[in-house]
Chains A and B, each alone.
Chain A
């Protein structure tokens, strides 16, 4: 008999994907797991975006979640058709969104306090944005909520090439 073995980080992450907060958000259409078939530790989750001219209705993110939930996730925009990183000119932009989606800073991460790459070297964020910093009790949903908010902010203008 084949038994699929999962390390604790993968078990916890999959439990959170099946949990009430993630599924309620999916029911609302706020986000979706792009495919049930994904290779640990890189789930791809698409987050809905407010309608903007020339922009897609969602932004897919390829996460890295090894060490979850002790280690914070990190993610980058993903081209699900090409199964490759999203070209820089197609990244979301406008207002607060441009601060977070900034390939000039790092094309492999998002500049928000709960991203493991972004928090490194940003000690002031630990106080300034304490509620958003990854820590005990945080779930992948907390990361997704920030992205969803940015993609529905007043300043969000769509993608870089048309903004």
Chain B
């Protein structure tokens, strides 16, 4: 079990390329794994980890002193975003420094998610970071750059995944809905259901 002072050292750096002053992108596979549990006596933190796939969110207890990349078991080609952040996380920071207790991170191989929203015929598109919430995408979709609506109308509409009846939770991350084939997500903007009859 990895912990403060006993963390195994990676044989290769997880992040090697500095893209901006604040951000880094992963370039190589992390060669270590950590247990989800924090060691006794360590500064245990719980963090929410979002990914695409069936289980879109996990709550994991980790030692706050380990690097975020370790905590999320970052794989080759993936990067990490804080919820609603535009740029990936500084990779060499610790969970305690960058995420904090019950913070949300998103792990994705997609640097940007191409979102298209169709409403009454026309389609509008926009790029989001994978950690953008569905609530934020809805704000854009019902805002001045897409399909402007009053606040009253906005709360009565939802984003529905194309060709389904599934309406993601407002707190879900848009990056959770990309498929293995690409980095796009298609929505219809639809009125919310009225349960009657």
Chain A residues with CB under 8 Å of chain B are: 19-21, 23-25, 27-28, 96, 99-100, 111-113, 118, 122, 124-125, 128-132, 145, 149, 152-154
Select from chain B the residue with minimum beta-carbon distance to A130. Answer: B165
Output the least CB separation between A124 and chain B (Å).
6
Partner of B193, one of A132, A145, A154: A132
A131/B165 in contact, CB under 8 A: yes
Q: In the complex, which residues 57-97 of chain B have their Cβ closer than 8 Å to any Cβ of chain A?
A: 57-59
Tell me which residues across on chain B come within 8 A of A23, comparing CB atoms.
59, 102
Output the least CB separation between A117 and chain B (Å).
13
Q: How far is the CA of A24 from the CA of B167 in the complex (A)?
A: 18
Q: Other than A129-B195, A154-B151, give 19 A-B pairs with Cβ distance below 8 A.
A: A20-B57, A23-B59, A24-B57, A24-B104, A96-B192, A96-B194, A96-B195, A128-B193, A129-B193, A130-B165, A131-B166, A132-B195, A145-B169, A149-B192, A153-B155, A153-B156, A153-B192, A154-B152, A154-B153
* Given A25-B171, A131-B165, also A124-B58 (CB < 8 A): no
Tell me which residues across on chain B come within 8 A of A96, comparing CB atoms.
192, 194-195
Tell me which residues across on chain A come within 8 A of B57, comparing CB atoms.
20-21, 24
Query: Interface SS of chain A: helix, strand, loop or mixed?
Result: helix
Output the least CB separation between B100 and chain A (Å).
12
A99/B196 in contact, CB under 8 A: yes
Partner of B194, one of A20, A24, A99, A118: A99
Q: How far is the CA of A79 from the CA of B63 in the complex (A)?
A: 41
B197/A152 in contact, CB under 8 A: no
Chain B residues with CB under 8 Å of chain A are: 48, 57-59, 102, 104, 151-153, 155-156, 164-167, 169, 171, 192-197
A28/B171 in contact, CB under 8 A: yes
Select from chain A the residue with minimum beta-carbon distance to B166. Answer: A131
Select from chain B the residue with minimum beta-carbon distance to A50. Answer: B155
Selected A-B contacts with CB under 8 Å, 23 pairs: A20-B48, A21-B169, A23-B59, A23-B102, A24-B57, A24-B59, A25-B171, A28-B171, A99-B194, A113-B195, A124-B197, A125-B197, A128-B193, A128-B197, A131-B164, A131-B167, A132-B193, A132-B195, A145-B169, A153-B156, A153-B192, A154-B151, A154-B155
Partner of A20, one of B58, B152, B196: B58
A112/B155 in contact, CB under 8 A: no
Select from chain A the residue with minimum beta-carbon distance to B153. Answer: A154
